[in-house]
Chains A and B, each alone.
Chain A
Amino acid sequence: MTALLVAFLVSTIAAATPLLLAATGELVVEKVGVLNLGVEGMMLAGAIAGFATANETGITSLGVLAAMIAGLALSLLFAVISLTLQANQTATGLALTIFGRGFSALVGAGYVGIPAPTLPKIHLPVLSDIPVLGPVIFGHDILVYLSLAILAVVAWCIRSTHLGLILRAVGDSHDAAHALGYAVVPIRYAAVAFGGALAGLAGAYMSLAYTPLWAQDMTAGRGWVAVALVTFSAWRPFWLLIGAWFFGALMYLSLYVQALGVAVPSALLSAVPYIGTVVVLVLISRDARRIRLHRPAMLGRPFQARV
């Protein structure tokens, strides 16, 4: 029983990590009033960039770095078209997802079915050997801790720093922020780039730690779940963590029950996380007033400075 519980908690945290990384990035992007629906594409680009680099160089950390750069580069493409050229953000985000899928499939064609160095799990002398708590708290790879640290920093930054105030001002009223002298478009560029780097990092986690392999479309909609998580959390970092763990648990359980050989067909169990996403979205969105209250007011609106 204890072993099952440990396996459940460890796997849930692992499954939640890519969701948490990508969603934290998207949270910052949406906080400044930009809706980037290209998370799935950036994750895939990060996954293949990280996998290919780690495979060619044999150095996992270089792979992680390459993944962040790939996600960031793609997000800048989005920024140029939606922020500078003021195209519809929804459509541009979709274009980014389509491009990222094609790009990753093209680059990844030569990497199917070969192994890459895996991100090692840390092992602290005494601490990691504590029963139950050891593996659950002290037995993960470095990206798991990094994802939590990033979330904590983002939460603190948004809530209680001057920078956070500026970000929120840009997202809630870009005209007012502009009038106060803040450079709306460059701030949005920076936020989008941050979101891109984190989506790339989430991709690296998929291809270097979670399932250390490359397969076409391996993120399987996790980028979209991350976007849904931001809405679920009502743009509050703490709830992002709860949501990521919830979906991590759902993903683990759907795999676990399949492995048990229960009579329910595996294809239907695989659909459970997606059904869960719909159900949670419905439950959360039902209260339209609450969503409107928390939602950055300028979300998805283009900004053009009137000189």
Chain B
Amino acid sequence: MLKIESRGYESRFWRYASPVLALLLTGATSGLIFMAMGRPAGLTVYTFLIAPLLQQDGFEALAVKAAPLIMMGVGLSLAYRANVWNIGTDGQFTLGAICGGGLALAFPDAPSYVIFPAMVVAGILGGMLNGGLVAWLRIRFNANEILTSLMFAYITQYLLVYLVTGPWRDPQGFGFPQTALFSDDALAPRLIEDTNVHIGILLAPLIAIGLWFMLEKSLLGFQFRVLGQATRAARFAGFRENRLVWIAMLISGGLAGLAGLLEVTGTLGQLTTTLSPGYGFTAIIVAFLGRLNPLGVIPAGLLLALTYLGGDAAQINLGLPNAVTGIFQGILLFYLLGCDILLLNRFRWVPSHAKAAR
């Protein structure tokens, strides 16, 4: 029978090869699923993963989708390193968008050099407020952050629905559940004129690099890593666990808030009832695919952004529901986690009689 055997060390090769193997297995498995649904596997995988890039503006669309995923994924990789399981980034994203967007609606005539920076600050603070609340409940009341952060995501979503169907609804909007459009001055500055390519695309990799330095090269980053890998050792070393939980939740929440603010000022231009197409859960996969390393999160964010574009392409070209994206993402995370057994272990074929003799 096939036996799992400890290597006794961590394989350098599999550290980088395991995500690649997971990707290949995900591609093969989704091909099989498409075949089971009576679709040509090759064409579907092609439509899903390659065709979106060949379109005009394909790379620009990819970058726009990837920017929020990278920002949120970077924050999560930091939090997960410290064993702080923030899974409610959707809520932090939404609260950031609400706080920033609210400013834009309240001051439609403010000049851009005042309003946009103020909105960015409000967005970050909104995300931090949501994340900080989770941290406070965990530290002060020992409440599990997995459940509270997710519950806050639902609560924030209903708050958003309340605002855009109630007090913030556009009076000239024919009753549609949406706010008025933000003024042009309140929109995110563009890198390329007349496109959606906004400043966040530049910001996301910079944030990733900055946090990589913090995590890998600073004492604070060291404390994060120790807390995650050896909680007891961190306590004996006198690291203040509560402080690290605060920092992890504030950074991951604040980055999600920033991502939300940039999403509404960069692509939507107003608040509607759904702001996040499931970015919160996708960002979790981005963090794991990036090996909880901020630099790894950049290519991971690009890849998961591709699955969103692929889902849309599969819907338009092949008539598949774009829920395909969710399946693909779920399978990818399964394989990513499963393949990591190869880091510390190897598979070996042991004939069954040998086992009996032992």
Contact = CB atoms under 8 A, between A and B. Distances in A.
Q: Do A and B bind each other?
A: yes
A95 B148 contact: no
B330 A271 contact: no
Nearest to B137: A282
Contacts of A41: 330
Given A99-B326, A102-B326, A106-B321, A91 B333 contact: yes
B284 A274 contact: no
Given A267-B161, A281-B144, A87 B340 contact: yes
Given A106-B323, A224-B147, A271 B284 contact: no
Contacts of B328: 102
B162 interface: yes
Contacts of B326: 98-99, 101-103, 105-106
B51 interface: no
A285 interface: yes
B158 A106 contact: no
Contacts of A82: 337
A271 B323 contact: no
Contact of B281 (A87, A98, A281): A98
Q: Chain B interface: which size bin?
A: 35 or more
Contacts of A105: 321, 323, 326
A130 interface: no
A71 to B, nearest CB: 15
B319 to A, nearest CB: 10
B87 interface: yes
B358 to A, nearest CB: 9
A100 B147 contact: no
Contacts of A57: none
A95 B323 contact: no
B137 A278 contact: yes
B330 A285 contact: no
Interface in B273-318: 281, 284-285, 288
Nearest to A80: B338
A270 B158 contact: yes
Contact of B141 (A95, A101, A286): A286
11 contacts: A81-B338, A91-B284, A91-B337, A95-B285, A95-B337, A228-B144, A278-B155, A282-B148, A285-B144, A286-B141, A288-B142
